[in-house]
Structure 1
Amino acid sequence: PPSAPSLPSRAPPRVPTSHAPPPPRRPAPPPRPSSPPQSPHARQPPAIPPRTGSPPSRPQSGSTHGRPPSIPPRHSAHPPAPPHRKPPGAPALPGRAPPPPPPRLTSSAPSVPPRAAPAPPARRPPVNGAAPSPPQPPPPPPVRVRAASETESSVPTPPAVPTGSPARRSLMPPPGPPTLRSRTSSASAAPPTLPPGRHAPTAPNGVSNAGIHRKIPSPPPNAGPHIFPTDCPPPRPFEQRTKQYGARALLSFHSPPSTKSSRMRFSSLLSPASALLLASYVLAEGPSDVIDLTPANFEDIVKPEPLILVEFFAPWCGHCKALAPHYEEAATALKEKNIKIAKVNCVDEANLCQDHGVQGYPTLKVFRNGEPTDYAGPRKADGIVSYMVKQSLPAVSEVTAANQDEFKTADKIVAVAYLSSSTQAPAAAFSDVANKHRDDYLFGLTTDEAAVAAAGVTPPAIVLYRAFDEPSTVYPYPVPSATLEDLEQWIQELSIPILDEVNAENYGTYAHSGKPLAYLFLDPSDTKKDDYLKVVSPIAASHKGHINFVWIDAIKFGDHAKALNLNEPKWPGFVIQDLAKQLKYPLDQDTAITTESVKDWVDSFVAGKLQPQLKSQPIPETQDEPVYTLVGKQFEEVVFDDSKDVFVEFYASWCGHCKRLKPIWDTLGERYADIKDRVVIAKMEATENDLPASVPFRVSGFPTIKFKPAGSRDFLDYDGDRSLESLVAFVEENAKNSLEPKNETVPPQNVDQQHHDEL
């Protein structure tokens, strides 16, 4: 119609020459405008006819349609204007977008296989009684269907590309005016209106942007379907499993195929502590190879066994818990060798543990036909097995003339019995001593006449060979009547040198002897060290059998010197320690070490003329705490007060058990703070204070708790648990004084009857 604006015409795109570069990809689809509202009297558009015909001809030179179309901008700086309406007589617009553009043909370039693009779907049925389109072959996958905007109304549908053409389909836009995608809108949707004097902006190609809804462009129609990755592992089939408990449930997990990384990841999850916990769970599920002993079965099981290892433990002991899995593993391994392993719970069987002298946990003892010896081996599974296997071997080795010389020097102390036969007395007693001290000494027995002749003795005889002092000593008493105790005492006396260096390895030998020990502290780098040893050696020989003499490295064991009350680092130093009573008798460090000074000091000690030197902290100036702080200097004054019940804790500052007991002990002191004149709750640091000689006990562990009732010199041991309730019950049971608090009488107050004026 005359009032309709004319649209610029466009020519089809040029066909590139043979040397032209390949065509560019089609740009993203332009924004789609909304379909304009249609008049109720407008004729409905007919169905889109099938695309037939030949490709469009090449445009003539000089045509104004030779340039490619311009793509409308995505954004506009002006508000959109309503699209132009067509008169009632205008032809209807097609309902589909134009087909893909025609192929680009080249004259000399080789043909490229076509890239298939989806063909349009089957035509819609006619509208308003229009004739249906002719039947079509089954279509390929459909493309998106959209409604055409009114700007496409005057654009004719270009013919379709001939079938079977080897040319590659183009992705360029079709010739003619640009096609704008539009969402389908209802007929009642009105276009946006502009105020008077405003017009909708137009794109460079003359197309109006009115009513366009911006949208993220869709992928091109020939992008193909999305392909999911095929290398994902298949889902694991469901497996119904029964419920499990304990370690099996912890360990029953579905693991991926064994790879190095998976093994490393799983191993990193198991720390040594968690692995030990899992092992204990596994061991707890099955039957244990460790025998549980009680007073009812102890004698019946232990006494008949030639070799059995028994552990005395407490369930709350951390060291016992750490030993438990190794002990179970060793029991299983030794079961095959017919060596039994047992245990005693000292919480449930306290009397049984006390009868066997158990003072700490865990305590391990090796029993041979009921006779115990201390276990001196490692506490790992393989070490326990190795130690017990060695213990099962014969304690007495066979000696012949061929190996006698080598056997006599195989250890520092070697005992050999020369007998006419293996059953001659004292073969049985000698074998018992060997079994008891197999870890300390080396024992041999011979009936070889050549060996007896080489030794120069007459059977029966027992000879002790030593690597120190006298090389050989013959048993001086009647051999046939020798008992286990006689042979044991004789060997122990000769096993201690007249003067030897003491260290951690041989200190136990001197401690078990029970004899006083005289120390000579020396600096090993001192050039006069040998001279000092020559001074003490004659005195040590004269007191052999009564006092043991040793020399010790004063630089390495300086702390031990301070414990023996040698406070100044001045060397040499000399001190005698009564191991039975834990009393110290140090020689004044300002006195020179000579034969005369040392001899006089030792003789005075033997005669009982010396007074022990007690180590003590200073006496506290005040006693403000509920627990009384006790020191060595006033021990007898406070503890031996017959008018008071005294409950004392002996502790060490480094002891963890003592630190945990401290708040409980303080609470106990607060409980009896009002009756201090009758009940004293005290504490003493045993490492800094010595007990006087009048005290009938010595502290050998921490904490040690003793109770002395009022009017008595006897001390009661406290062996109960360290809870406040148990401590209070022990005091109430053994206290001689009344534990009732003091009755404080409050004097009556005089009521003030004076009159006061009210304000």
Structure 2
Amino acid sequence: MATRSFVKLCWASLLLAPLVASSDPVPTDVPRPNLRPEGHEPEPEVEPWSAYEHVNAEEFNKALKERDYNLVACRFDSEMLEWQWPFIKEQLPNHYLSVNCTAEVDLCLEHDVRTYPSVRLYRRGTMYARYRGPRNGGEIVKFTQRSLRHVVGSLDETTVGTFPESDDVTFILHLRPEDANRGVYRRFHDLATEFSDRYSFAIVGRDQDNSIDEEGEDAPTVMRCYNNVDKRQAEFDAFFENIDGMRNFVKNCGERLVKTMTMPNAQGFIEGKRAVLYYFDADQESRAKFAKDILDVAKQFQDQLDIVVSNPLQFGDIVTEVGLPNRDFPSMALQNPATMQMMLYTNEDRSPEVIARFINDGLTGQHSMVPIQEMNLDGQGPFGDLGEGGEEQQEGQEGGQEGGQGEEQAAPRDEL
């Protein structure tokens, strides 16, 4: 046995000796064999599509210094806004920036970015205005354009006729010279500053607005509102009767009858005391069409309820709270806090006439409704499993309250 083992060891030594003794390096220039069939070359790696062209801190500061204004999108992870970005870039060439806050953490902290995506307008190197409207490219461009105007424009007999249609909502103060020192213009200017991101404001003297020919030299000071979206106008002249009268007039006339759900206003509809008709549709054009078609119905019930359109992909948690299945859209529900009930719209006919009857039945209690307290806000509605609510984790509180930091936390809700 010992002799046989010795023979095996000798044979192994003879086989390994040439390899151990060789000092030549292993060749590295030998081409690897191509095992793929002829004509099937490997596909080059392609980076995922992105509408953004993110800048770093140095590029960001350089743009703020060299440009007179910049529209900046600070993002964490928001595909909704990304699909709108190409249109914004086309409308505002050389005046847009985007920052990836996961890569530029210090830059976003320096500029106090707390919610994502955050859209801001910078002028002359400093933050000038925040956008808080819906994630719609057209609305964001309008916000930028009106923010670049004078807070209060000055009109004459020519421009007073064209200004009313220059924006979705415009306000004109027709001022008598003798009222100029009574604080009316100052209050008007303060309101213009507050609402300049949403509406456009201008002033014209009574001696330049063609009113003398119509009303004589004693035409009073008035403020006129032109809501071109809702096709309605209004006038206010009680400047010295109610200190809050001017502000309430601007708010009520400027607010759209068919509202768009945003992060700042979403919970207000759920928790408010007014009845609400919710319309959920993932398609932006369909939501716009519904808002246009339902306008007359909104005017009919404007004193009784709010009509709000919403993107269910963004507000999945609201869909669940309302009690709708989080999968079938478009869909509608009527919330009536007065009776603590929710009525789900099941009719395939969404004509304004049918919806008007649905609203009337819900407000008068002529239709079977689901008690709101029976809604399970964890995703179990009265119709079984409603699926995922889509609720996003929020860092800090709604409205910009600062929360804790940490890599394990999800991005906070958008302010859009």
Normalised-by-shorter TM-score class: 0.3 to 0.5
- Greater helix proportion: 2
| TM-score, normalising length: structure 2 | 0.47
- Greater strand proportion: 2
Larger CA Rg, structure 1 vs 2 = 1
| TM-score, normalising length: structure 1 | 0.29
Larger RCO, structures 1/2 (Cα 8 Å, 6+ apart): 2
